[in-house]
Structure 1
């Protein structure tokens, strides 16, 4: 049976194929003889009770200088319910346009398409806040818009990480100690003077060993991790913030953390997820467009995308 997938993502012309997880997933779909279509979130639209995509079918090749071509010159209008699956792979920011896209994708799901990750769970599972559902695996955390509470939390712990709830790639993440002269202004900036919620977490010294990315595919914990090691003088391991990625086998403790969280992910229709783990603590649960797949595949000669598409094909046959 022929399958088709619509990949909703950032502009395909500007991706870095060497490290782009979405591109690797598209290659796997093509390898399995799926028809691969591409669009951006703004190309989705609703009319007469149905969701359509203004999209183009693409031909892919793993060549960093020439990685895709359009099969037809002009975009086509396709009823999203007719796709076998839709991959929502738009990077944050998680703003209102993103949320509107999830409403459209949820309707497309109701009309026949298998959407990954589940649109309702994309809305419900904020990548920072979702950690609170697993308190036994998270560092001491405070989420508040109240500057006095955040400052008291920092003074109590002595060393904290402060961050917004909607960022990515290490943007606007601060480390502050209790006597930091900039603590007040950091809190004022993150909370917009007490108007916006922000997160404060206990600083975890094991960040020097890396912020580990653990991938979980359809409930299966991948047995390798990518340790994002902060550059000298940094506390952020994010690759976008200058960290270096070091593939390594997963530890037993990390595997146990992943296996403890995995059942809830599957229950919520979150089939492709990346946990951020520092030491023995989960600091974020990435559900929008988890990355680091290509680095692990290239290092260990494994095919993680195959696991996702095998799961999709099994669900489509059910």
Structure 2
């Protein structure tokens, strides 16, 4: 099978933690061809097909193929070939571009959808990526979330704070905990935070009642092919930090799914899989879901390293089934 990863620059990969690297390693172990390109390299011209202008065929080093989760490698691949590659000419296209979900990401989903019309098999499905912005997607499943407000209105945010006293404010396009603020009952700096996030009413903000169970971690639950991975990664805030995100210094602790985790995961998994979302990352604090991640869910290697559960192998199994199913459709 020939797999094209649409991802961030290879120079930014960290072999000891990147989930996309773990996918590539497992694909290479099975003898699949691994190709890579970046979003700016996607193009379409009249009379042609959606093409990666300079796709690169990667050969993983023997050390990389044999490596275990959490292994740091200075060199993990060589580039054996560079050429233009039509997306419809590979067996699977994996969209693994990290957030933010900005205009360029949005345009890329349209190019990927055109590639689908030309015969490409894209995972996650481009239309599903567009339809599930990672913070707003939770609104459809409001039975699993804490009290939440989405607004541009200064007055609405102040009223929400007056009602709930301890709140979290976040931008809709942030990632890795970027731009998240907590405001307690005293309302200290609430006005300044609102101005920072809503840009004087020009941008929409999400506000949620603070969930104190964050002290036990912001749990990343992975859904693969409509089935929950039995372990999650609890990202636990350190020191005085309120954010558990690994990018914000949180400590990742793998643990079995709780009953509440499983209820949420089993309710959403078949629905999201039916929509063409092969891989989803749910963020849950306590028993409240805070995000549905579909662009480039991570935590494969941390879960594998701590529990022995091979998330990457589970994912490539699901990808192989998905490719076969779409070939029959």
TM-score when normalising by structure 1: 0.96
CA RMSD, 1 decimal: 1.1
2:51 equivalent in structure 1: 52
1:128 equivalent in structure 2: 135
Correspondence list, 1:84-103, <5 A: 84-103=91-110
1:145 equivalent in structure 2: 152
1:34 equivalent in structure 2: 32
Distance (Å, rounded) in 1 between the aligned partners of 2:19 and 2:213? 26
**Displacement of 1:172:** 0.3
Distance (Å, rounded) in 2 between the aligned partners of 1:109 and 1:33? 25
**Displacement of 1:64:** 1.1
Distance (Å, rounded) in 1 between the aligned partners of 2:170 and 2:48? 39
3-state secondary structure, aligned to 1:143: strand
The alignment status of 1:215 with 2:183, answered yes or no, reads no
Q: Which residue of 268, 286, 294 maps to 1:287?
A: 294
The alignment status of 1:69 with 2:78, answered yes or no, reads yes
Deviations 1:253-296 (A, max 9, x none): 21111001112211211111111000000000110000111111
Distance (Å, rounded) in 2 between the aligned partners of 1:60 and 1:273? 26
Deviations 1:95-149 (A, max 9, x none): 1111111111111122222111111111110100000111110110000001110
Is the Cα contact below 8 Å between 1:155 and 1:177 reproduced in 2? no
The alignment status of 1:229 with 2:228, answered yes or no, reads no
1:23 equivalent in structure 2: 21
3-state secondary structure, aligned to 1:50: coil
2:209 equivalent in structure 1: 202
3-state secondary structure, aligned to 2:229: strand
3-state secondary structure, aligned to 2:20: helix
Distance (Å, rounded) in 2 between the aligned partners of 1:314 and 1:288? 20
**Displacement of 1:49:** 4.3
Is the Cα contact below 8 Å between 1:4 and 1:83 reproduced in 2? yes
Distance (Å, rounded) in 2 between the aligned partners of 1:280 and 1:315? 31
Query: Is there any run of 5+ residues in structure 2 with no aligned partner, and where?
Result: 65-71
**Displacement of 1:15:** 1.3
TM-score when normalising by structure 2: 0.93
Distance (Å, rounded) in 1 between the aligned partners of 2:89 and 2:202? 43
3-state secondary structure, aligned to 1:134: helix
**Displacement of 1:248:** 1.1
**Displacement of 1:311:** 2.3
Is the Cα contact below 8 Å between 2:51 and 2:85 reproduced in 1? yes
Correspondence list, 1:178-193, <5 A: 178-193=185-200
Is the Cα contact below 8 Å between 2:198 and 2:204 reproduced in 1? yes
3-state secondary structure, aligned to 1:121: helix
Query: Is there any run of 5+ residues in structure 1 with no aligned partner, and where?
Result: none
Q: Which residue of 171, 177, 183 maps to 1:176?
A: 183
Distance (Å, rounded) in 1 between the aligned partners of 2:263 and 2:133? 22
1:4 equivalent in structure 2: 2
